[in-house]
Amino acid sequence: MLKSMTGFGKREGTSHGLAVAVEVRSVNHRFREIVLRVPKGGFEWEEELKELVARTCRRGRIELVAVYGKGHERGKHVTLDRPLARQYHRALKDLQRDFRLEGEIDVELLASFRDIFHVAEIPVDDKHLHRVVKRLTTGALADLDRMRFKEGKALQVDITERLKAMRGVHRAIERRLPLVVEGLQERLQSRVHALSGGEQDTWLNKELALVADRYDVTEELTRFRSHGVQFEEMLKKREPVGRQLDFLLQEMGREVNTIGSKANDAEIAKHVIQLKSELEKIREQVQNVE
């Protein structure tokens, strides 16, 4: 079964109250390129994360993004210095009494004293965070792989239909070819007969046969069919076959070009255009196959 190089996976979790999210996305690439984007503190895990990605993705440009807490930074928590807040409150009460001041001592007033609040990063257990990121990465890669297989299945259905269409065109060329060769031989014989005054020898007949043979594309049709059979067999394999499929398409394209140049026939020329059109559409699909 084919697997696409395009996909997306995401998993979310927590590590001791710290929100953690891992996203993995992949797009087409001739080879395999793994890009990691992890916050400070996660660089030491890069090689391990790359190995996890490599086990799932054989080709494509894969980007893994790990996020800790809000804004790609570790979470923070706020603590209140209650004893200091009480001292501020008592001092304000004394000030109000001594100077007979009006007004209320409320939360807004106390909050203006910034030193009663302390903001600190949430302490993180790096070992636990490592385990969480690894687990989320494994899950995100599984989601990515499912999407790649799902898209690959759709690609395979489309490619299979186009291969079926090409088989029909191939049979049409095979049916037409004997008529083309026979007609060519008759035209050549008629022309030679007219030029020679009706006299022909064995050597001339052999030359006519050789000329007609140059327009015979039976070998090209046979090779084209063989490549098509190999292509269909490749579609059934589970390992990455994108490069092999691309190579077979190039070979099939060469055979079609030769058929078009050798077969001097308008009807076959139309069939050749059909084959080229289908091959190009399949090539576009194969560019996305792992």
Kindly indicate the confidence band of residue 167, based on its pLDDT and cuts at 50, 70 and 90.
very high
pLDDT given at position 196: 59
pLDDT in tens, 238-253: 889 999 999 999 999 9
pLDDT in tens, 108-151: 888 888 899 888 766 666 788 889 999 999 999 999 999 999 99
Token pair 């395979």 is found at: 156
d(CA 26, CA 34): 9
Q: Are strands 7-15 and 18-27 parallel, antiparallel or unpaired?
A: antiparallel
Percentage of the chain surpassing pLDDT 90? Answer: 54
Instruction: Using the predicted structure, report yes or no on whether residue 192 has a pLDDT greater than 90.
Output: no
Helical H runs in 72-201? 82-98, 107-111, 126-196
Q: Is the model's pTM score more than 0.75?
A: no
Amino acid at 80: L
pLDDT given at position 149: 94
Higher-pLDDT residue of 110 and 158 is: 158
DSSP label at 148? Answer: H
pLDDT given at position 193: 62
SS3 category, 6: coil
Q: Name which of 203-212, 219-228, 272-281 the model is least confident about.
A: 203-212
Amino acid at 104: E
pLDDT given at position 200: 55
Higher-pLDDT residue of 5 and 93 is: 5
Write the CATH number of the domain with boundaries 7-73+124-148: 3.30.230
The domains of the chain are located at: 7-73+124-148, 76-121, 150-286
Percentage of the chain surpassing pLDDT 70? Answer: 83
User: In sequence order, which residues have a C-beta less than 8 Å from that of residue 180 and are 6 or more positions away?
Assistant: 215, 263, 264, 265, 268
CB 179 within 8 A of CB 216: no
Closest CA to 54 of 26, 20, 28: 26
